[in-house]
A and B are shown apart, each in its own frame.
Chain A
Amino acid sequence: DIQMTQSPSSLSASVGDTVTITCRASQDIRRWLVWYQQKPEKAPKALIYSASSLQSGVPSRFSGSGSGTHFTLTISSLQPEDFATYYCQQYDSYPHTFGQGTKLAIK
């Protein structure tokens, strides 16, 4: 299985800040990576797919980059509704493994 490792596991930030979350794959996954946001007691929601494409309806303050084994999710000008847990997932090869998650909390 491809291992997905996110960093940091948690971080705290303030409204208006810009934050970056990193996801590393244990082997080359090209650009087959998606970022999800999950709020407590809710299903995940896709934000960015194919490493850098914005999913329909997602605010443009979310952006993604990377290819191969190194990827980043950047959230600019944090809003109160952005405090949640973020997961990366590779869909290059089965099983489509997730990262362990990054919890973004209000400072």
Chain B
Amino acid sequence: EVQLVQSGAEVKKPGESLIISCQASGYNFTNYWIGWVRQMPGKGLEWMGIVYPGDSDTRYSPSFQGHITISTDKSITTSYLQWSRLQTSDTAMYYCARRRGELLRFFDFWGQGTLVTVSS
């Protein structure tokens, strides 16, 4: 059974750093891209970026490029979403999701979400 299990909720202050995680199981981790999606409170879904665990190839949305880092650790089948300096506008639910394939580039399995709250 494919599962993506995300780390727990975080409360941080502006300017702090943060790493949240997404541990995958039930499939060959290195063969499927993992993406991250933001959902701000009461708002829609935003595609942030995606990483291929096999070779760490990474693509970012221009809206998020330079503000986040997406990475993976194949040894523990985990992907990470990282901020070096959080802003209050980073308050949101963050989802990781597995991309189905090279042509079918939609997300077929999702994590449960990690709520990040940034407040002074």
Partners in one complex: yes
A39 within 8 A of B: no
Number of A-B contacts (CB under 8 A): 59
Question: B100 contacts which chain A residues (CB < 8 A)?
Answer: 49
- Complex-state Cα separation, A58 to B46, whole angstroms: 24
Q: Is the interface of B mostly helix, strand, loop or mixed?
A: strand
B108 within 8 A of A: yes
Query: What's the interface size class on B, roughly?
Result: 20 to 34
Q: Is A63's CB within 8 Å of the partner chain B?
A: no
Contact B104 A101 (CB under 8 A): no
C-alpha spacing A1/B46, complex, angstroms: 12
Proximity bits, A2-32, B CB within 8 Å = 1, else 0: 0000000000000000000000000000001
- Do A44 and B61 touch (CB < 8 A)? no
Would A98 and B107 count as touching, CB distance under 8 A? no
| Count class of interface residues, chain A | 20 to 34
Chain B residues whose CB sits within 8 angstroms of the CB of A1 once the complex forms: 61-63
Determine chain A's interface SS by DSSP, over half rule: loop
Given A43-B113, A91-B105, A95-B63, 17 more pairs with CB closer than 8 A: A1-B62, A32-B105, A36-B45, A36-B107, A38-B45, A43-B111, A43-B112, A44-B45, A44-B95, A46-B106, A50-B104, A95-B49, A95-B59, A96-B105, A98-B45, A99-B44, A101-B45
Q: Which 5 A-B pairs have the closest CB atoms?
A: A95-B61, A43-B110, A34-B106, A91-B105, A98-B45
A-B contact pairs, 8 of them (CB 8 A): A44-B37, A44-B107, A87-B44, A89-B45, A95-B47, A95-B59, A98-B47, A101-B45
